[in-house]
Amino acid sequence: MRLRDVGEFGLIERIAGAIARSGGSQTAMRQVVVGTGDDAAVLRPPRGHHVLISTDALVEGVHFRWRTQSPRIVGERALLVALSDLSAMGARPLACTVALAAPPSLELSRALGMARGLGAVARRAECPLVGGNVTRAPVTSLTVTVLGSAPRGRFLSRSAARPGDGLFVTGELGAAGLALGRSERRGKRLSRLPPLRLQAGLGLAGLPSRGACIDISDGLLADLGHLLQASGVGAELAVASVPTPTGFFGACRRLGLDPVRTALTAGEDYELLFTLRPGGPSPRALGRRLGVTVTQIGRITRRPGLRLQGDAKRHAVGASAKGFEHF
């Protein structure tokens, strides 16, 4: 059965059903006054909170391919990527909407698989799906908008780094680039999902020593560049201290990938890159608090620009420091 067989309103009904069955509709709904089914959803943000908004899109043939990714993974990924922006701001999810564009020939099972993936993440992140849009288009795409909330004045931004701050990262880098390499060179299915770092972002926003924060979507060097530019500062990065998964170097070499280059420039790891004023908790203590390992990888300097300490030049990292551009 294909989308054209059920029609627009039939599709919306079935998507709502798939999300309900995946638990998405059991998400904490106390902040939802009116959900799907009206011209707009109506939300009740916590008293005295700011409201945050971010939009992301996944497009077939650009961000995913049916040959290598299951519909469920695509749906999960679409919401996880959007939620990563809320994590980086230290915000709590409030609600999300999704715009699905797809050809009438798309198999209904694929649309419902994506809906189930979205619903599962919506439940896990307590981010109820409150509306959306469906339309015809030549290829499938999911555009997700997430709303979040944060107590006034207590959110993170890219622009708050100061000279003397330590530079840190959550988790490990390079796994997404390695998975992509395996998919492209060995035809393996892509099943790796971005991590959910909402608790880490909330924890960072609550620290008196908090500095700047950004999520690593374009690659460590590119996103560090964005953070430095927004804050008007520079940084020294200790290349050897960048945390990578166990067995990462060997696995990269077997695929013909440069491991340092992969860890520093491959995007889509969706870990948090952040700075802290001196005198804050140790990475170990902070990691316990945030629920994820924390590693110091450098420090912020008054002198502008990024200086790599270690063997980065050998890995031809400089040329691709700009990360992924879409056009």
Q: 128 to 157, contacts with a copy of itself by CB under 8 A? A: 130-139, 141, 143, 145-148, 150, 152, 155, 157
Is position 199 an interface residue for a copy of itself (rule: CB under 8 A)?
no
Minimum distance from residue 284 beta carbon to a copy of itself (Å): 26
Site residues (CB under 8 A) for a copy of itself, limited to 219-248: 230
Nearest Cα neighbor of 260 from 238, 228, 283 is 238
Q: Tell me the HSE value of 326 on the side-chain side, using a 13 A CA sphere.
A: 7
Q: Pick the closer one to a copy of itself by CB: 59 or 255.
A: 59
Contact, 255 vs 274, CB < 8 A? no
The tokens for 286 are: 């902070």
- Per the listing, tokens 């006054």 go with 33
Out of 22, 25, 54, 183, the only residue in the binding site for a copy of itself (CB under 8 A) is 54
Q: Which part of the chain contacts a copy of itself (CB under 8 A), choosing from 53-61, 162-170, 257-265, 290-298?
A: 53-61
Task: Scan for tokens 């049916």, then name that residue.
Answer: 66
Q: Given candidates 172, 215, 268, 269, which one binds a copy of itself under the rule CB under 8 A? A: 215
Q: If binding means CB under 8 A, how many residues of this protein chain bind a copy of itself?
A: 72
Tracing tokens 């166990």 back to the chain, one arrives at 246
| Site for a copy of itself contains 267 (CB under 8 A) | no
Query: In the complex, what is the shortest distance from the CB of residue 45 to a copy of itself, in angstroms, rounded to a whole number?
Result: 6
85 binds a copy of itself (CB under 8 A): yes
Burial call 139-164: b when 16+ CB within 10 Å, e when fewer:
ebbbbbbbbbbbbeeebbbbebbeee
- If the CB atoms of residues 25 and 143 are measured against a copy of itself, the closer one turns out to be 143
Q: Does 37 bind a copy of itself (CB under 8 A)?
A: yes
Supply the minimum distance, in Å, between the C-beta of residue 135 and a copy of itself: 5
Applying CB under 8 A, which of residues 1, 29, 42, 285 lies at the interface with a copy of itself? 42
Q: Please name the residues in contact with 126: beta carbons below 8 A apart, sequence gap of 6 or more.
A: 27, 28, 93
CA distance 26 to 10: 22
Around Cβ 47, how many Cβ atoms within 10 Å? Answer: 6
CA 208 to the chain's CA centroid: 25
Q: Which residues pair with 50 in a beta bridge?
A: 150
**Given the complex with a copy of itself, which of 19 and 260 has the nearer CB atom?**
19
Q: Is residue 29 part of the contact set for a copy of itself (CB under 8 A)?
A: no
Shortest approach of a copy of itself to residue 41 CB, angstroms?
A: 5
Q: Please, are residues 178 and 252 in contact by the beta-carbon 8 Å criterion? A: yes
Q: At a CB cut-off of 8 Å and minimum separation 6, what does 196 contact?
A: 80, 83, 87, 121, 124, 125
Q: What is the C-alpha to C-alpha distance for residues 215 and 213, in angstroms, rounded to an integer?
A: 7
The answer to whether 3 contacts a copy of itself (rule: CB under 8 A) is yes
Smallest CA-to-CA distance from 269 within 295, 250, 235, 300 is with 295
Q: Does 65 bind a copy of itself (CB under 8 A)?
A: no
- By CB under 8 A, residue 321 contacts a copy of itself: no
State the nearest-atom distance from the C-beta of 251 to a copy of itself, in Å: 29
- Give the one residue of 16, 41, 216, 224 binding a copy of itself; rule: CB under 8 A: 41
Using the contact rule CB under 8 A, the part of the chain among 78-86, 174-182, 185-193, 246-254 near a copy of itself is 78-86
